[in-house]
């Protein structure tokens, strides 16, 4: 049995779903953001400008028609406030123009603003793919996530946060959520503003039949993708107690499971490898990480039905 992303019909499309233009606090015009990613071989992006009153609550649209390149309407939404007093940051892809903005005029805390739970629920009801962003950067806690129901994903890697303040990962809070029994997937993103060298460091590879917003969003919601900083995953399959991984050349493959459980194999130029997973806790979750010789990683979404 191959995992969802690898048994689905179609091909993998490379995309970044967290980036900003000069319609909020980015440096480049939206079309120039697209051109930058096209030049680096990306198939799609979502320009997720900050959905704040100070920027007129933008749902950024692209003026040019780029051949064979898809843009998914989206935004980075905000409301107050997390348990540590910080502003919530929530990605929503696939929002329509008639989506009612939260009452969040600026990055400043609004004590009477909409709850994050209600905002996420409204985004889901509107048909959006919803993800929690840069949890290490803004100090997201497990207690915060208790209020959020049915978000699709959380950022396991945010390139901008990694290079600017060494707070780019989301592994700890992600696995705490899994251990508590909350199913959630992961995404790797840039969060590029093009004010620094904050682009092209984290992306997702989405399996879809066509490179359009409808098909890509459907695959995202179903978890039919993996996340990467560089390496490629070609297949992950589970048969009885064997887990097989096929990938680009890497030096380490890790299978992580509930709690502290894991399996680990390291050797030069791994492209195909098999793990006996019978020792991992049953009826919980497992996921795969591959690491290339430069230390760059790719991550599968978690698997629950194995």
The mean per-residue pLDDT over the stretch 116-130 comes to 98
Residues 182 and 259 in one domain: no
Cα-Cα end-to-end distance for the chain: 9
Q: Kindly report the number of other CB atoms within 10 A of residue 195's CB atom.
A: 13
Cα 42-89-211 angle, rounded to 5 deg: 25
Q: In angstroms, rounded to a whole number, what is the distance separating the alpha carbons of residues 261 and 211?
A: 37
The mean per-residue pLDDT over the stretch 219-242 comes to 97
Residues 206 and 293 in one domain: no
Residues 189 and 259 in one domain: no
Q: What is the pTM of this model?
A: 0.97
Residues 144 and 288 in one domain: no
H/E run at residue 11: strand 11-16
Rg (CA), the chain: 19
Range of the domain at 70: 4-228
Q: Kindly report the number of other CB atoms within 10 A of residue 199's CB atom.
A: 20
Higher pLDDT, 112 or 89: 89
Residues 167 and 251 in one domain: no
Q: Tell me what pLDDT residue 65 has.
A: 85
Residue 188 and residue 229 in contact, taking contact as beta carbons nearer than 8 Å = yes
Q: Is residue 133 part of a domain?
A: yes
Phi-psi region of 208 (alpha: psi -120 to 50; beta: other; left: phi over 0): beta
Pick the last residue of a domain from 203, 228, 253. Answer: 228
Q: In angstroms, rounded to a whole number, what is the distance separating the alpha carbons of residues 197 and 72?
A: 23
Q: Tell me what pLDDT residue 195 has.
A: 94
Q: In angstroms, rounded to a whole number, what is the distance separating the alpha carbons of residues 134 and 157?
A: 7
Least confident segment among 10-19, 63-72, 86-95, 238-247 = 63-72
The mean per-residue pLDDT over the stretch 199-206 comes to 98
pLDDT of 2 > 80? The answer is no
Q: Tell me what pLDDT residue 267 has.
A: 95
Q: Which residues pair with 189 in a beta bridge?
A: 158
pLDDT digits (tens, 9 = 90+) for 150-160: 999 999 999 99
Q: How far is CA 194 from the centre of its chain?
A: 19
Q: In angstroms, rounded to a whole number, what is the distance separating the alpha carbons of residues 156 and 143?
A: 18
Can you give the CATH number for the domain in which 291 is found? 2.60.40
Q: How many domains does the chain have?
A: 2
Q: Kindly report the number of other CB atoms within 10 A of residue 121's CB atom.
A: 16
Q: Is residue 306 part of a domain?
A: no
pLDDT digits (tens, 9 = 90+) for 282-303: 889 999 999 999 999 999 999 9
Residues 31 and 160 in one domain: yes
Residues 243 and 210 in one domain: no
* HEC letters along 48-88: CCEECHHHCCCCCCCCCCCCCCEECCEEEEEECCCCCCCCE
Q: How far is CA 121 from the centre of its chain?
A: 18
Phi, psi of 257 (to 5 degrees): -135, -170
Q: Is residue 304 part of a domain?
A: no
Mean pLDDT of the chain: 96
Residues 124 and 200 in one domain: yes
pLDDT of 1 > 80? The answer is no
Helix, strand, or coil (residue 30): helix
Residue 222 and residue 208 in contact, taking contact as beta carbons nearer than 8 Å = no
Can you give the CATH number for the domain in which 108 is found? 3.20.20.140
With a pLDDT cut of 90, the percent of the chain lying above it is 94
Q: How far is CA 103 from the centre of its chain?
A: 26
The mean per-residue pLDDT over the stretch 97-109 comes to 95
Pick the last residue of a domain from 228, 252, 284. Answer: 228
The mean per-residue pLDDT over the stretch 254-262 comes to 97
Q: Tell me what pLDDT residue 247 has.
A: 98
pLDDT band of residue 51 (cuts 50, 70, 90) is very high
Q: Tell me what pLDDT residue 4 has.
A: 83
């Amino acid at each position: 049995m191959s995992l969802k992303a690898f048994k689905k019909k179609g091909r993998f499309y490379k995309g970044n779903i967290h980036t900003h233009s000069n319609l909020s606090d980015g440096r480049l015009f939206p079309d120039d953001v697209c051109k930058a990613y096209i030049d680096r071989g990306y198939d799609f992006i979502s320009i997720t400008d900050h959905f704040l009153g100070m920027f007129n609550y933008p749902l950024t649209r692209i003026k040019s028609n780029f051949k064979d390149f898809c843009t998914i309407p989206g935004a980075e939404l905000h409301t107050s406030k997390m348990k540590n007093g910080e502003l919530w940051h929530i990605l929503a892809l696939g929002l329509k123009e008639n989506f009612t903005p939260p009452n969040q005029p600026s990055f400043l805390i609004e004590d009477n603003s909409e709850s994050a739970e209600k905002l996420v629920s409204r985004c889901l009801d509107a048909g959006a793919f919803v993800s929690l962003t840069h949890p290490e950067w803004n100090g997201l806690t497990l207690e915060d996530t208790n209020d959020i129901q049915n978000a699709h994903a959380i950022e396991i890697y945010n390139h901008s946060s990694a290079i600017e303040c060494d707070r780019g990962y989301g592994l700890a809070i992600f696995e705490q959520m899994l251990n508590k029994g909350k199913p959630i997937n992961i995404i790797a993103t840039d969060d590029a503003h093009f004010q620094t060298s904050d682009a092209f460091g984290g992306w997702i590879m989405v399996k879809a039949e066509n490179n359009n917003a409808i098909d890509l969003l459907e695959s995202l919601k179903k978890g039919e993708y993996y996340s990467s900083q560089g390496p490629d995953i070609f297949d992950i399959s589970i048969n009885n107690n064997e887990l097989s991984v096929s990938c680009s050349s890497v030096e380490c493959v890790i299978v992580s499971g509930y709690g502290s459980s894991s399996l680990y194999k390291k050797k030069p130029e791994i492209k195909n490898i098999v793990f006996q997973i019978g020792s991992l806790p049953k009826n919980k979750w497992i996921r795969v990480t591959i690491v290339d010789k430069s230390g760059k990683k790719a991550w599968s979404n978690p698997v629950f039905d194995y």
